[in-house]
Amino acid sequence: MNASMIRNRYVGDSVATASPARLVTMLYDRLVRDLVTGEAAIVASDLAAANEALVHAQEIVWELADGLDTTKWSGGPALAALYQFILQELLAANCERIEEGMRLVRREFPTDIGPVDLLCKAADGTTIAVEIKRRGEIDGVEQLTRYLDFLNRDPMLRPVRGVFVAQQVKPQARVLAADRGITWVEVDYDELRGIESRELRLF
């Protein structure tokens, strides 16, 4: 058994025997490591390495957010909001993963009814409003529809099209998005990283 096999076995045993609290701590540790790696890769102009680190960081935050029950303690809603903010920041730093040629204009772009998660420009110069949700449901599409109504009143921005991003978009939300002319995108992290295994890497 070589060193790599020994290490993989040790990692597997560590994850399998860890308590739920320890698993969360391990996810946080790996998230920090991915963010540091991603930042260093961006500084070094290593876009492939930056993409891999940031996509994996996004995957960890999705996992943390998905496992959070906001009804269990008073700080739950605030922590959910923090996870949402982190996801916005990560996707903003890597928004070409949403659509090729897309570039960020501003995070939390203000409207009269609240801020749009990301305001971007497409490769052809079209303005794009991006709404990011943990779960892609009808209420998220409705929210983006309202934002688009306000944004398209601005002659400096229009025409503005919408992109609804989630790890999984529910069938009803897909139908409503198509009816509203909104593109929906499921963020498939394994596909983006070009790997087959869906196992979440902690080390």
The larger pLDDT score, comparing residue 97 to residue 5, is at 97
Model pLDDT, residue 202 = 40
Model pLDDT, residue 96 = 74
**Per-residue model confidence as pLDDT tens digits over 36-62:** 888 888 888 887 787 778 778 877 877
> pTM (2 decimals)?
0.61
Domain 101-186, what fold? Answer: Trna Endonuclease; Chain: A, domain 1 (3.40.1350)
Model pLDDT, residue 201 = 43
Model pLDDT, residue 188 = 60
DSSP secondary structure string for all residues of 121-181: E-TTS-EEEEEE-SSB-HHHHHHHHHHHHHHTT-TTT-SEEEEEEESSB-HHHHHHHHHHT
The larger pLDDT score, comparing residue 29 to residue 177, is at 177
**Per-residue model confidence as pLDDT tens digits over 146-170:** 999 999 999 999 899 999 998 789 9
**Per-residue model confidence as pLDDT tens digits over 176-186:** 999 999 999 88
**Per-residue model confidence as pLDDT tens digits over 92-150:** 777 777 788 888 888 888 888 988 988 999 989 999 999 988 778 999 999 999 999 99
Q: Is the pLDDT of residue 67 over 80?
A: no
| CA atoms of 169 and 187, how far apart (whole Å) | 10
| CA atoms of 203 and 184, how far apart (whole Å) | 32
Model pLDDT, residue 18 = 56
H-helix or E-strand spanning residue 106? strand 103-109
Q: Is the pLDDT of residue 77 over 90?
A: no
Position 79 confidence tier, pLDDT thresholds 50, 70, 90 = confident
Domain segments of the chain as ranges:
1-98, 101-186
Model pLDDT, residue 11 = 42
**1.10.8, 1.10.287, 1.20.120, 1.10.3470: which CATH number matches 1-98?**
1.20.120
Position 175 confidence tier, pLDDT thresholds 50, 70, 90 = very high
Residue 181 to residues 12, 87, 95, 112, 115, Cα–Cα distance (Å): 45, 24, 20, 22, 20
Helix (H, G, I), strand (E, B) or coil at 117: strand
Q: For residue 201, give the DSSP letter.
A: P
Mean pLDDT for 82-99 is: 74
Tokens read off for 111:
């409207």
Largest distance between two CA atoms of the chain: 66
